[in-house]
Chains A and B, each alone.
Chain A
Amino acid sequence: MTAVTGESALQGNGVLGQPLDIREDPQLLRGEATYVADIDLPGTAHMAILGSPVAHARILSIDTKAAQELPGVLKVATAADFTDVMPLPCIWIPGGVESHFPPHPYGLPGARPVLTGDSVRHVGDPIAVVVAETPRQAAAALAAITVEYEPLPVVTRADEALAEGAPQLHEAVPGNLNAYWTCGDKDRTDAAIAEAEVTVELDLVNQRTINSPIEPRGAVGDYNAATDEYTLYASTQGPHNHRFLLAALVLGIPFNKLRVIAPTVGGSFGTKGYLYPDMALVLLLSKALGRPVKWVDTRTGLMNSTVQGRDHRQHVTLAGTRDGRITAVRATSYANLGAYPSTIGPGVATALMGRSISGMYDIPAAFCEVYAAFTNTVSLGAQRGSGRAEAAFLMERLVDRYAFEIGMDPAAVRRKNLVPKEKFPYDNGLGWTYDSGDYRLNFDRAIELSGYADMPARKTEARTRGKRLGVGIASYVAICGVGPSTRMSKEGMLGGTWESANIRVHPTGEVTVTVGSASTGQSHATVFAQVAADELGIDPAQVQVLEGDTQKAPYGQGTYGSRSYSMAAPAVALTARKLKAKLVKAGAVFLGVPEDKVVYEGGGVHEEGNEENAKTFAELAMAMWYGWGLPPEIEPALDETTHFDPPDFNYPFGTHVAVVEIDELTGETEVVAYTAVDDAGNIGNPKIVRGQIEGSIVHGLGQALMEAAEYDEDGLLISSDLNHYALPRAADVPFFTLDKTTTPSPHNPLGAKGAGEIATVPPAAAVVNAVVDALGDLGVRHIDMPLTPEKVWRHLRGEAQ
């Protein structure tokens, strides 16, 4: 244990960074956690939502009379019942040419009304709600609502939505164009491409996928007429954000009349940070009926209403020299925003993707343009690795295509173009300034660990078994730590993006940490206790962690973009340091020595050179609780809060290597080995991060091999249940080979970088690179995901060229 004095008492007791057991796990393993569907308030009525069965139509009439008369039905409501409710807003407006629908009374872009009254714009577009005594009664009443539609033509692809004569979704949005957005230097990039020795181009489809948390969303509204207060229990990543959006921008009620509580949340991967109509509806209907109103989605409901991910169609170009130096990259992307702009969907589809396209490489000229368009599909939002995964996919596919063109090894091309260590902080020319990194160390470690040098021999061996072996590399940089609020405002984010923590030391020496973030499965209670315990020099078992209730937690923005450990944990650390500084000051009084003679160690204080003159943490806690003898400049009690707004983002990175074997008879692609070396800066609990890395990789493999949200020409989501939407299962993946490098971020006091989702960024590119490598001698240069056996089989037979 390191002893430190005075205000420089910054070093911890070493519990941070240790793979401590996860304190959440026993409760979860016993099935004792309460998720939103498990909440059963006395007198609860149940809500069901009628979603449109057609993708695009004018609503001519809605007849709810028959539904109203069914047994158990308490209320049937349509848009006409909520004319005084403001539309749900969109709060990330990335800039460029902008148009939205419908306008919001506060001058914000509106995302969508709570219920659709005039037209439906995607299958699942909510039209009416029923509240009944039981869930079954509510569902049965939906079938009795009669809606007359006048069908309209349908468009489901972004590029087609922008074409002349395409069906129009919103009167206020001519040509369906929500935004034309650019970053980088167009002229310089075009010139570099025109002058280049070599150029390669690809047309890519980064297919739409469905996040698929295993817990569907749900909400319980509970209005208390006696106090005129609303409580919302919801599966949310950000209870404070939902409180703000609902109270101020949708319901128009005083902020202090709405409390939002996130119970245990069963995964999210981006989806549960968005504002959905159901959240407002359960509150409004609870008030109308004077009873708690509960709604829990079905899987098919989720797939037709909860934000979906990816969905870019791109034309991308890379220029370089004959000897492997990349000189320019350019991307034109058609992003499919779905029928309405989701809460932050437009920003995900533009800035998060566009500014990230140069990846780990030092490229003199880069440019990205995005056409973000409305179509008759479910709204687009974040998905684990959002934007950055789409960027890495295009860049890493281009690098392989380029290496093939110039006859160089793809690893050698990458290595030659990595941003060198001495160039940090590094301006990537697209808007990001990478904070820190040793990319070559990371890259070389992954290549070595994967056994890359042995691949030619393994390929030969595989052919003797009727298999084609391929190897694919993908490197990435994933912006995380959203973020610096002022910087995000320039990115078009309407809201602060800082994070917070409060620490209260109780009179008996136990500690409660409360954070504004909210876990959706990231073991916050374990790792935030480690941060506080490490800083304060106490046992983590003494530290309780609370979050997820707006009435108890300090304001904060929630869990998204892998931000909690590099945003909330620094707030915890800084708060603990405030407490330590206070204890050193107070310690001087209690010990009767000057402040510079007070040593803070092991949670207590003692006089320098005299360990007999000491106070333990518990003694200090009680003394501060009493406050006896404290001078006027030292307040009693130990209760501090920090709102942490970092100077800039942080930039984790890594290199993954996939090895696949393709069955020559069936076209089936098996991932036989997968190596990942990720750098998330200083890690709080390696056990947590390992689990997140493994899960993230499997999520990425899902996109590469099997996942696709398929809409038919009428706009019907064909893959709208788990029979038709394939998620990776345990038998689909091998164990991985994992390692890490550690480059602390200078932008927070823990040196932390994002970790939760980063490993979702490269797997799709690594696997497609591996499959194209395996089929290269057949003339295959690219295959769009997902790499289903049928698709690969057609390439093996030469049918798909």
Chain B
Amino acid sequence: MDLSLNVNGRPEQFSAPPNELLVERLRDGLGLTGTKVGCDTGQCGTCVVRIDGRSVKSCLVLTASAAGSRVTTIEGVTTLGGELTGLQEALREEHGTQCGFCTPGMVMALGELVDNTAGREAPTEPEIREWLTGNLCRCTGYHSVVRGVQRACSAARAGESAATAPGQEV
């Protein structure tokens, strides 16, 4: 079927089989390999992208059902080698990544949490941990990630744009 998507601000038009998963379109069709695949059952969270601003596991979405929406992948968060967002910078400062395989999915999922924090009460530690339960990490034990989010949220609360690069829309 002929479909169109807006991916990282670029309109994309293609033909895809009706059973194609969004993650397959992103990785195999569009070459956006920053989005990962770590399981077959929607458990690991390495494939999280944002669809119209919401963080979503792209292995649980058919390409066809995402048609017409705005999709942001990790490649849309920063440019290649570009300056880190506030969230990424906070995660860097706390070393919230080791092997890095879960990291793009974490950044995409947490981006929504941090964006929602701007101008509001920062999420509590249990709230951050709860938000993170959709993403598995085997290296860090999550501690450095949680600390990174706390750091990013306090920055976001102070009005800095943490998850999103200046002027960028997700």
Cα-based distance from A308 to B84 in the complex (angstroms): 37
Instruction: Say whether chain B's binding surface is mostly helix, strand, loop, or mixed.
Output: loop
B contact residues around A688 at 8 Å (CB): 95
Contact between chains at B139 and A731 (CB < 8 Å)? no
Cα-based distance from A216 to B126 in the complex (angstroms): 29
B contact residues around A13 at 8 Å (CB): none
Chain B interface category by residue count: 35 or more
CB-defined A-B contacts under 8 Å, sample of 11: A40-B31, A214-B46, A215-B99, A267-B138, A269-B138, A299-B38, A300-B40, A522-B98, A722-B136, A729-B142, A730-B129
Cα-based distance from A266 to B140 in the complex (angstroms): 12
Cα-based distance from A727 to B135 in the complex (angstroms): 11
Please tell me which stretch of B50-58, B63-71, B85-93, B154-162 contacts chain A, meaning at least 4 of its Cβ atoms lie within 8 angstroms of it: B85-93
Instruction: Scan residues 114-170 of chain B and give those whose CB is less than 8 A from a CB of chain A.
Output: 125-126, 128-130, 132-133, 135-146
Cross-chain pair count, CB within 8 angstroms: 176
B contact residues around A699 at 8 Å (CB): 138, 141
Cβ of A9 within 8 Å of any chain B Cβ, yes or no, is: no
Cα-based distance from A32 to B79 in the complex (angstroms): 10
Within 8 Å by CB of B74, from A24, A30, A523, A697, lies: A30
Cα-based distance from A435 to B112 in the complex (angstroms): 50
Q: Which residues of A contact B (CB under 8 A)?
A: 21-22, 24-35, 37-38, 40, 211-216, 264-267, 269, 296, 298-300, 520-523, 687-688, 690-692, 694-699, 721-723, 727-731, 733, 735-736
Contact between chains at B80 and A214 (CB < 8 Å)? no
Contact between chains at A33 and B141 (CB < 8 Å)? no
**Closest partner residue, chain A, to B145 (CB atom):** A730
**Closest partner residue, chain B, to A33 (CB atom):** B100
**Closest partner residue, chain B, to A520 (CB atom):** B99
Contact between chains at A695 and B38 (CB < 8 Å)? no
Cα-based distance from A35 to B35 in the complex (angstroms): 11
Contact between chains at A697 and B141 (CB < 8 Å)? yes
Contact between chains at A694 and B144 (CB < 8 Å)? yes
Contact between chains at B98 and A729 (CB < 8 Å)? no
A contact residues around B41 at 8 Å (CB): 299, 721-723
Contact between chains at A735 and B40 (CB < 8 Å)? no
Q: Which residues of B contact A (CB under 8 A)?
A: 31, 33-41, 43-44, 46, 73-75, 77-78, 80-82, 84, 88, 91-93, 95, 97-104, 107, 125-126, 128-130, 132-133, 135-146
With A215-B38, A691-B144 as known contacts, state yes or no: A729 contacts B95, CB within 8 Å.
no
Interface centre among B75, B129, B132 (most CB of A within 10 A): B129
Contact between chains at A24 and B100 (CB < 8 Å)? yes
**Closest partner residue, chain B, to A696 (CB atom):** B141
Within 8 Å by CB of A37, from B37, B125, B126, B129, lies: B37
B contact residues around A22 at 8 Å (CB): 92, 95
Interface centre among A22, A214, A722 (most CB of B within 10 A): A214
Cα-based distance from A692 to B100 in the complex (angstroms): 13
Cα-based distance from A727 to B141 in the complex (angstroms): 11
A contact residues around B80 at 8 Å (CB): 30, 32
With A721-B40, A729-B132, A733-B141 as known contacts, state yes or no: A523 contacts B98, CB within 8 Å.
yes
Within 8 Å by CB of B141, from A40, A266, A694, A721, lies: A694
Contact between chains at A31 and B39 (CB < 8 Å)? no
B contact residues around A696 at 8 Å (CB): 141
Nearest Cβ on chain A to B99's Cβ, whole angstroms? 3
A contact residues around B146 at 8 Å (CB): 730, 735
B contact residues around A691 at 8 Å (CB): 95, 98, 139-140, 143-144
Cα-based distance from A688 to B99 in the complex (angstroms): 12
With A216-B38, A695-B140, A695-B141 as known contacts, state yes or no: A731 contacts B129, CB within 8 Å.
yes
With A29-B97, A31-B104 as known contacts, state yes or no: A299 contacts B138, CB within 8 Å.
no
Nearest Cβ on chain A to B145's Cβ, whole angstroms? 7
Cα-based distance from A37 to B97 in the complex (angstroms): 19
Contact between chains at A35 and B136 (CB < 8 Å)? no
Contact between chains at B136 and A31 (CB < 8 Å)? no
Nearest Cβ on chain B to A617's Cβ, whole angstroms? 27
Contact between chains at B103 and A730 (CB < 8 Å)? no
Within 8 Å by CB of A25, from B35, B95, B143, lies: B95
Ordered nearest first, which 4 A-B pairs have the shortest CB separation? A521-B99, A31-B34, A266-B101, A28-B100
Nearest Cβ on chain B to A310's Cβ, whole angstroms? 16
Cα-based distance from A392 to B117 in the complex (angstroms): 44
Cα-based distance from A18 to B95 in the complex (angstroms): 14
B contact residues around A27 at 8 Å (CB): 100
Contact between chains at A727 and B84 (CB < 8 Å)? no
**Closest partner residue, chain B, to A526 (CB atom):** B95
Within 8 Å by CB of B99, from A29, A214, A697, lies: A214
Cα-based distance from A691 to B141 in the complex (angstroms): 8
Nearest Cβ on chain A to B140's Cβ, whole angstroms? 5
Contact between chains at A267 and B99 (CB < 8 Å)? yes
**Closest partner residue, chain B, to A687 (CB atom):** B95
Question: Other CB < 8 Å A-B pairs besides A31-B104, A267-B99, A722-B136, 18 of them?
Answer: A26-B92, A29-B97, A30-B81, A31-B35, A213-B99, A213-B101, A214-B46, A215-B38, A267-B138, A520-B99, A521-B100, A523-B98, A692-B98, A692-B139, A695-B139, A721-B40, A728-B141, A729-B136
Nearest Cβ on chain B to A52's Cβ, whole angstroms? 19
Cα-based distance from A775 to B138 in the complex (angstroms): 30
Nearest Cβ on chain A to B77's Cβ, whole angstroms? 7
B contact residues around A34 at 8 Å (CB): 33
Within 8 Å by CB of A214, from B33, B101, B125, lies: B101
B contact residues around A38 at 8 Å (CB): 33
Nearest Cβ on chain B to A415's Cβ, whole angstroms? 28
A contact residues around B91 at 8 Å (CB): 25, 29
With A32-B34, A694-B140, A722-B43 as known contacts, state yes or no: A521 contacts B98, CB within 8 Å.
yes
Contact between chains at B82 and A25 (CB < 8 Å)? no
Nearest Cβ on chain B to A35's Cβ, whole angstroms? 6
Cα-based distance from A698 to B139 in the complex (angstroms): 9
Cα-based distance from A299 to B136 in the complex (angstroms): 13
Contact between chains at A730 and B144 (CB < 8 Å)? no
**Closest partner residue, chain A, to B82 (CB atom):** A30
Within 8 Å by CB of B98, from A211, A298, A695, A698, lies: A695
Cα-based distance from A244 to B107 in the complex (angstroms): 38
Interface centre among B91, B102, B103 (most CB of A within 10 A): B103
Within 8 Å by CB of A30, from B78, B130, B144, lies: B78
Interface centre among A30, A521, A723, A729 (most CB of B within 10 A): A30
Nearest Cβ on chain A to B32's Cβ, whole angstroms? 9
**Closest partner residue, chain A, to B106 (CB atom):** A29
Nearest Cβ on chain B to A697's Cβ, whole angstroms? 6
**Closest partner residue, chain B, to A736 (CB atom):** B143
B contact residues around A694 at 8 Å (CB): 140-141, 143-144
